[in-house]
Amino acid sequence: MSTIADRTAGTRIVIRAEDVWKSYDDGAITVLRGVNFEACQGQAVALCGPSGCGKSTLLHLVGGLDEPDRGRVVVNGVELNRRRDMVQFLRHEVGFVFQLHNLIPDLTLEENCLLPAQAAGVDRRAARERLMHLAERTGLQHRLTQRIQKLSGGERQRTALCRALMNRPRILLADEPTGSLDERTTATVFDLLLDLARSEGVTLLMATHDLALARACDRVVTMHDGRIHEPQPVLS
Ligand SMILES: Nc1ncnc2c1ncn2[C@@H]1O[C@H](COP(=O)(O)OP(=O)(O)OP(=O)(O)O)[C@@H](O)[C@H]1O
């Protein structure tokens, strides 16, 4: 029987979790109980499972926002615990899109998106060019000078997507990125997310409760009892 690993043979593994454990409240709540997981360069992986099963926790560990109690998280070939340059990692290698956009409401779309580029020391002209490209791809080119508080929910999520991709990360972590949107806007934002991730060769790991969105990804993995379960691919 062919496995996911066979089907993606020759493709670089960019995310690897090895026997990852994570608990909260001094061990009172154990959320991850030996998670093993791999994602290859350019794959779009949906992370599903019931509320509270640990999807966000796993995204945080992969994104370097938190540390496992036990086990290893290796991203782009380097174990996160051993990295001395976490700021560089967060600025350049990984992008985040959350359910609530986390944009600064008083700043304009443009100002919000340029912030990560400025923090990373990207040349202002190059940053603006990058923003123009992303704004065109997401249909936001006419909204650049608008304050976030004046944008619709879908426009805010599209802005969050642009901001996450500004510094050309190789990995995009999305936590219920359409969770606060209506059905039609969800479809628009998700299509853009997947389309941009694919065209930029970004590995997408997306936590979602929306099975229709999950099925549009390259792989669906489900969390249950603190571990990951992945259906074997059906052979044609
Ligand atoms: N910082 C924290 N302190 C204590 N408990 C936490 C913390 N973060 C998460 N938890 C708990 O860990 C469990 C898993 O939470 P997590 O947010 O990872 O689940 P989830 O699968 O993403 O849920 P949802 O689908 O509802 O977003 C929950 O019981 C949650 O209450």
225 — phi, psi (to 5°)?
50, 35
69: tokens are 């109690």
HSE-CB for 158 with a 13 A CA cutoff? 27
User: What is the pLDDT at residue 235?
Assistant: 58
Nearest residue (by CA) to ligand 1, atom 17, is 56
Q: What is the pTM of this model?
A: 0.91
Determine the residue of 21, 22, 48, 55 to mutate for testing ligand 1's pocket, defined as the one with the most ligand atoms within 8 A of the Cβ atom.
55
User: What is the pLDDT at residue 1?
Assistant: 37
* Fold of the domain built from segment(s) 4-102+168-229: Rossmann fold (3.40.50)
User: What is the pLDDT at residue 146?
Assistant: 97
Centre of ligand 1 to C-alpha 54, Å, is 6
Locate the domains of the chain by residue range: 4-102+168-229
Query: Is residue 52 within 6 Å of ligand 1 at its C-beta?
Result: yes
Low-confidence residues in the chain, pLDDT < 50: 1-10
Strands (E), the chain: 13-24, 29-40, 44-48, 70-75, 78-79, 94-97, 171-175, 203-207, 219-224, 227-229
Query: Is residue 226 within 6 Å of ligand 1 at its C-beta?
Result: no
Determine the residue of 21, 24, 48, 99 to mutate for testing ligand 1's pocket, defined as the one with the most ligand atoms within 8 A of the Cβ atom.
24
Model ipTM value: 0.97
Residue 54 CA: which ligand 1 atom is closest?
A: 18
Centre of ligand 1 to C-alpha 55, Å, is 8
DSSP output for 159-217: HHHHHHHTT--SEEEEESTTTTS-HHHHHHHHHHHHHHHHHTT-EEEEE-S-HHHHHHS
User: What is the pLDDT at residue 2?
Assistant: 38
User: What is the pLDDT at residue 234?
Assistant: 56
